[in-house]
Every structure is written in structure tokens, then in C-alpha cells.
Structure 1
């Protein structure tokens, strides 16, 4: 099960995995709508959780396992993982040797900016596709480097047809979706994420009643307006925690009533408590200084 295929891509993966061992998570510098991490650990680490983003991963070493849509899945080195927004999953290493992988979290709105079709749904979350794997490796790049706008534009232009190629259901045009209104609502929610946004505000802003807006918003972005708002708060909190903010301060700064409120939602969304996340990041900084990302 741990065997790798001898191709230029997999030889490159072997070089990535040759750095010193140790558990931890390394978070790359952010880009609007994109998050990138590298993780190394043993055992089951992530409890069942769901994101409002695509999760696009590449297994680098070991055997990656997770439950997804009622089945237990396995990914070997060089395989691509495609998790659709709002799908429940967990995560861990299937063997004692542990696991190394990289993950890119992509807001669905970025794909919709490339195509007027709906979001591609890849039913099988473990894909064998060297071209797609190589594309993701380009996006991961050096984890201490910033992504550039021109690179992201090209990455998205190539990613959209790659995902559509593996989609089991044909994507449909967005003609029946009130695209302008949901874009306006999304931008407003992102700009006011740290406070309570009422349905009446979005109704006045978009001209849609709350039920129609919710229906169109979910059709476009695979999540609800409330869930989108909550996820923006959690991503802000995660950034503050990564920068060393105490959990209580991060909760207060991002619109949560208290630390326990943040902890409850953080665990449901990211699969681990914020304290555990901070600890893994701290270990990841040690791995970075040891040359783990080379």
C-alpha cells in the first residue's frame, strides 16, 4: 500500500519528504480566497468537520485516510484529494510511518470567476492525475513565499477544466442564479464578518427576499450566507491564533461571544480545538527552521 510510482512527479515527492521528521503544521502566507498548509503527523488527528471551501490536497508520504460520503478513503503518495465544499470528512494517517501532505483551500467564488458554469463536483475524492498533481505542486511552491496575482489567475484558469474533467455530473450554466445579487451579498458579508448581519440588511442590499437569497447563494457557493459569515470569522481567528494571539483575544476580535464559543465552532469546522491547532503550528515553525519544507 505504501509503494510509490517511479515517475518524475513521484521522484519530486520523495525529495520533498526527505527532510527531518517530526509532527506539525506549516501555514503558508495567505492570498485572498486561498489558504495553503503542509502537515506531518501520525494517527488520527482531525475529527469530522466541514469547510465552505474546496479542499485540494496532495499526499506526499505515507498513506492518507479519511471518511467521506459514507466510505473510508485512502490516498497514496502522488494522489490528489478533492473535497467539495460543505462535505463532512475527518483525517489521519493509515500506517505507523505517519503522513505528510499539502492542502490548498479554495473559496468557490474564485472558480466561478473563471467559468459561468456551476461548481464541478468530483464524486471520487482520491484522484490519480499527474497533470493535476503537478499543477497543485506549482501552487504550493515554497511555503514561505507569497502567491502572485498573475500566477493565481493562470492557476485558476487551468484548475477549472482539470476539476471538470473528473466531475461525475456535468456542470450547469448559472443562468438561473441571481449572480450579481449573491456576489453583492458575499462581499458585504465578508466586509462585516465580525458583527451580526441581519436578513433585512441583505434584503435591502440585494433586492431579494431572504429565502430566495439563501437559495441562490447556496447554488452559487455551496454554502449558506450564515455559514459563509461564520467561516470568515473562523479564518480571521485562525490567522490571529497563528500570529500568537491568546484565544480569548482572538474570540473577542472576531465576533465570538467568548473563548468557548470560538472553540466550539473552530473544532466543528477545522476538526481540532484552537489550542491544538496553535500547538501544531508551533511545532510546524520548528520543522520549517529544520528545513522540513525543502
Structure 2
């Protein structure tokens, strides 16, 4: 697996494998990809899906899926993991995130935008390139979603962004519902509802993902799994490993091996 250096919370990969590669897992990002060789198969929203070269994969945040090569020829694909926050920001946080029902689409404009950002994983895109691609992806996802976007009230938008900022600033601490209620000005149930509409996941899940990001950076920096887990706010290494596998479909050790091989 080839893993590009992350930037602005965005991750990009190229995966090559035969057979089953990823156990069921879910991200808090959009997972947008291009099938380059072979047949890409995965289970998503209760149905087995197939993608061949020329198709675009669109997986919504927080949706469970796995991954495998559909034939003995193996599989090559490239994927970008795009934080929902960027898609919402392109719209000024005025509407709920677009949901594309079919995770395998044939869309020339969407393909072109993804091909541009995934063409060279060894080079970090400039801010100007990234801003343009995010704008195009946001537009294309809305077009593919079809249904008119749900408007988000300004007060709800402000509340969600306050809660998001609080979580990011305190992600290695214990964050309780009553604290987020004070930070956002919304009761916990309305906050959860509006948070998911705008950012594609729950406040708890968003907190776990920020902790996982901290732990990944710590592991790559040379710290052990137990220390990285503790520093990021996990109860222990086993707690960290369970969440890591649920999110990335593999253990931290396997991920580190692939990341090290890619960077080496």
C-alpha cells in the first residue's frame, strides 16, 4: 500500500492486493476512490457492491464497509479520505452533507476531480489545488445526491462548530455531554442530531477519530502503542486497538508496517 503524507486532515492511498484486504470498518470521512485495475468488491449498507475501472467509489461518513478484490487478477485503486468539514465549509456550512445513495457511480466530472488530486501521491497538493478540488467534489456530490440539500439554521450551525472546536481542543480529555451542552448551547440530543447532519457523524465518534489521529501521529513518531494510546486519551492499549480496527479495518501494527513500507 502506498500512503501519501496527510495534509489538512486529508489522507490519500493507493492499495494493491488479492483476496480480502479490509475487515468491516467505518471512517468519519468521505471515502472517494477510483478503481484502476481489476474488480473492487465491498459490502455497503447491506448489499455487496462491485466496481470496475472507470467507476468512482463514494462512501459516506460513518457507513460500515469492507474491501476485497473481486477476481484472481487482483485489485488496484486509489482513495482519498476527505473530512466532511471540508465539504460543509465549501457550502458555508449552510446545508446538511450530501448523501449519494449508490456507492458506485460513473461520473466523468467526479472522476476528473479525483484523478487530479490522486495523480501524484508523492507530492503534497498546494492549497490552491486542494481548494479547487474540494469545491468541485462538493458540487459533484450534491449533484449525485439528487435531492435538494437540507438547510441548516444559522444557530444550529454555530452550535455545531462550537462543539466541534471544543472536541478538537480537548480530544485527549474526558468530554462529557453536559460540557458540550454548555459549549454549544444545545441540549445533547439536538446537538447530536445537528452534528450528524453537518459533519456526518456523532460527537462521540468525532472525538474517537481525533484521538485515533493523535495516536497515529505518535506511533509514526516512534512511540509505543501503549504510550500512544494513553497520550491520546484511550483507557488502555486494548481499548485503542479495538477502535483502530473498527475504523481502519486492520490492527495498528499492520497499519504501521504498511505506512513504514510506503515511506521507506
Name the TM-score, length of structure 2 as normaliser: 0.93
Q: Which residue is 1:11 aligned to? A: none
Cα RMSD after superposing both structures: 1.7
More displaced 10-residue stretch of structure 1: 236-245 or 214-223:
236-245
1:132 is matched with which residue: 104, 110, 116?
A: 110
User: Which runs of 5 or more structure 1 residues have no equivalent in the other structure?
Assistant: 1-24, 287-294
Q: Report which of the two structures shows the higher radius of gyration computed on alpha carbons.
A: 1
Q: Which residue is 1:95 aligned to? A: 71
Q: Which residue is 2:197 aligned to? A: 219
1:127–1:243: structure 2 CA closer, same or farther, 3 Å change rule? Answer: farther
Name the TM-score, length of structure 1 as normaliser: 0.84
Tell me if the contact between 1:112 and 1:118 (Cα under 8 Å) persists in the aligned partners: yes
1:240–1:42: structure 2 CA closer, same or farther, 3 Å change rule? Answer: farther
C-alpha separation in 1, matches of 2:204 and 2:154: 22
Is the counterpart of residue 258 in structure 1 residue 236 in structure 2? yes
1:177–1:267: structure 2 CA closer, same or farther, 3 Å change rule? Answer: farther
> Whose relative contact order is higher, 1 or 2, with alpha carbons under 8 Å and at least 6 apart?
1
Q: Which residue is 1:106 aligned to? A: 82
Residues 75-97 of structure 1 deviation map (CA, whole Å, 9 limit, x = unaligned): 11121100011111000111122
C-alpha separation in 2, matches of 1:94 and 1:282: 27
1:177–1:140: structure 2 CA closer, same or farther, 3 Å change rule? Answer: farther
1:102–1:177: structure 2 CA closer, same or farther, 3 Å change rule? Answer: farther
TM-superposed deviation, 1:244: 4.1
